[in-house]
Amino acid sequence: MIERVLAGRYKIVAPIGEGGMSRVWRAQDQNTGKSVAVKVLRDEYREDETFVRRFEREALAASKMTHPNIANLLDVGMEEDGTRYLVIEYVPGKTLKQFIQESGSIRPETAAQIIMRVLAAVQHAHQNGVIHRDIKPQNILIDREGTVKVADFGIAHLANSQTMNQDTETVMGSVYYFSPEQAKGAVVDEKSDIYSVGAVFYEMLTGRVPFTGDTPVAIAMKHLQELPVPPSEINGAVSAAMDFVVLHAMEKRPRNRYASAADMLQEVRLALEHPDTILAARAEADRRAREARAQEKRKQRALRRVRWMRRALVSVFAALLFAVIALAGYTVTAQILQSRRQTVEVPNVIGLKNDIGINALLEVELEIIPQYAEYPLVPDGYIADQSIAPGTFARRGDKITIMICQSKYDLSAPNVVGMSVSQAQKTIIGLNIAVGNLTFETNPATPDTVIGQTPSAGTPIKRGDKIDLIVSGGRVTMPDLVGMTQQEAEQKVVAYRLAISDTPSVATNDPAMVGKVVRQMPAAYMSVRPNSTVVVEIGIPGDVLLEEVITLDLTALQPGQTVTVCLVDENGEEARMFSRTLEEPIEELDIRVYSQTPRAAPYVVYFDDERRFTGTVIFKP
């Protein structure tokens, strides 16, 4: 394939990698001089309808998406000899898997920033009806500037199809990250991708995958049956709030996971910026619940062993004693039966009215110790918990403590306006009141300061009620991006703690604005919250513009240097039409330039900031 040219345009330069059904090559687009990735279906699968459909499905899925965190599809084609190929954006850099292998665990702050960009890409795919089904670090690319790209939609399905996990050739590479429903071969949906993102996040935070095993089947069974060790137990730098996000995304049942990638992204940001938020409390509650379930399972297993041993011993002793001395056997058996008559099975009184539950415990002759406390989700006078687990055995006369919900009493909402978010949350939780919704608003007050609350201070409330907080998100003045290239605009908004969410194209008849920001939303100099998203419209040639091509000799230009082309207008002023920093040596490069009128236009070429040569391009009508 080396040196082969596809579609008369894409010259194959070097191999990048290969997968189960295709090989990926780095190629040069001879029209633009840019490097691209070309994914070619293996020769042995050209006539196989299954693989051809899958290849076409990948093209269809990729064509639905354009996002800064997705390796975008540029072209699709098939040669006369049957060679099928996809042309994809080339991302020079490393896979996330390579980063993890080189550095082990990644700092939680960095890992959170990476996973938020992955979630933004996954949310975009889901909004366009595409389920990736193979999210893993090998399919997440990070270029030299730190841009994160999700790639390889080779086994993606459209969300409105019956998406079954039947791609057995992908199991070996993906079994560490796929969801329990994929392990069972069941129908998958958007929440399967969320589980996989959680597994990737887990590996970034800990430096190891959630589950390991000797075979793919052993690993798949752990996805179905076992709980992952919380990341904070492996890496002490991981907060309880971050623990909660990872384990919530990796819930066994899809309905218990995040409703969408956007919801998970929001909680990752909350855990990153406010690790002491209610997420930490929820994480602690989840931990206690997991420990309680595990302890109950151990208790039940021990009980089953005791029951089995008791039955076995009774049978053995009875047989031996009956065979040796019938009278002695009768005596021992009588004693055992008498002992069993002293043992009772503890009834389940949780959820019963206290008098009914007490009567049930008295019937089995247990001594009752009542305690009273508040339980927001339990009606007054009902039993919320019991000290001996239901279904276990106790001796008659044993003590059992039951927790009865007592009447709630009124409180007044505390005044938390002016406090930091963490101080306000500690104050509210300390009164056994819940923290409700956190709403961030643009405000000149110090970021993360409470500027409002509902209900207001002094309002009568009950334990368990919620207080919603309005928090200052700070204020950033929107920079003026018009006239910048897309790359310049992205660098500018990052410096202002903002992010570009979309870059639609718009036709322009101003030659100086082709390839540059024509409009932006929000407008320049508006006050916005930090981390707000910006939409910029990038100019493309309109119908009125005349187009010509300048071929540049770049043999003297070294990698790392920048070539800039400026066109001189009718007033003698230079307008920058093109600028690019070379990543690898290029002998020639074709540059497209534009004019509104037919004319002979002088142009100037700069290497870095040094004027190297000039020329004239003729724009013909």
How far apart are the C-alpha atoms of 473 and 498, rounded to whole Å? 13
From 230, 209, 205, select the one nearest 294 (Cα to Cα).
230
SS3 content of the chain, % helix, strand, coil (to 5): 35, 30, 35
From 510, 509, 527, 519, select the one nearest 484 (Cα to Cα).
519
Query: Annotated catalytic sites, by residue?
Result: 134
DSSP 58-108: HHHHHHT---TTB--EEEEEE-TT--EEEEEE---EEEHHHHHHHHSSPPH
CA-CA-CA-CA dihedral for 323, 325, 327, 331, to nearest 10: -80
Backbone dihedral region for residue 101 (phi beyond 0: left; psi -120 to 50: alpha; all else: beta):
alpha
Beta bridge partners of 431: none
How far apart are the C-alpha atoms of 336 and 318, rounded to whole Å? 10
Radius of gyration of the chain from its Cα atoms, rounded to whole angstroms: 33
Other residues' Cβ atoms within 10 Å of the Cβ of residue 328 = 12
Phi then psi dihedrals of residue 216, to 5 deg: -55, -35
DSSP state of 163: -
CA-CA-CA-CA dihedral for 525, 528, 533, 535, to nearest 10: -30
Q: Degrees (nearest 5) of the Cα angle 310, 313, 317?
A: 140
From 153, 117, 123, select the one nearest 135 (Cα to Cα).
153
DSSP state of 583: S
From 96, 112, 104, select the one nearest 207 (Cα to Cα).
104
Instruction: Answer yes or no: are the C-beta atoms of 452 and 415 closer than 8 Å.
Output: no
Instruction: Answer yes or no: are the C-beta atoms of 475 and 527 closer than 8 Å.
Output: yes
Instruction: Answer yes or no: are the C-beta atoms of 414 and 426 closer than 8 Å.
Output: no
3-class DSSP state of 356:
helix
Q: Name the residue with tokens 């345009």.
A: 9
Phi then psi dihedrals of residue 206, to 5 deg: -110, -20
How far apart are the C-alpha atoms of 59 and 478, rounded to whole Å? 37
Instruction: Answer yes or no: are the C-beta atoms of 498 and 528 closer than 8 Å.
Output: yes
DSSP 300-336: HHHHHHHHHHHHHHHHHHHHHHHHH-HHHHHHHHHHH
Tokens at 448, concatenated: 């993360």
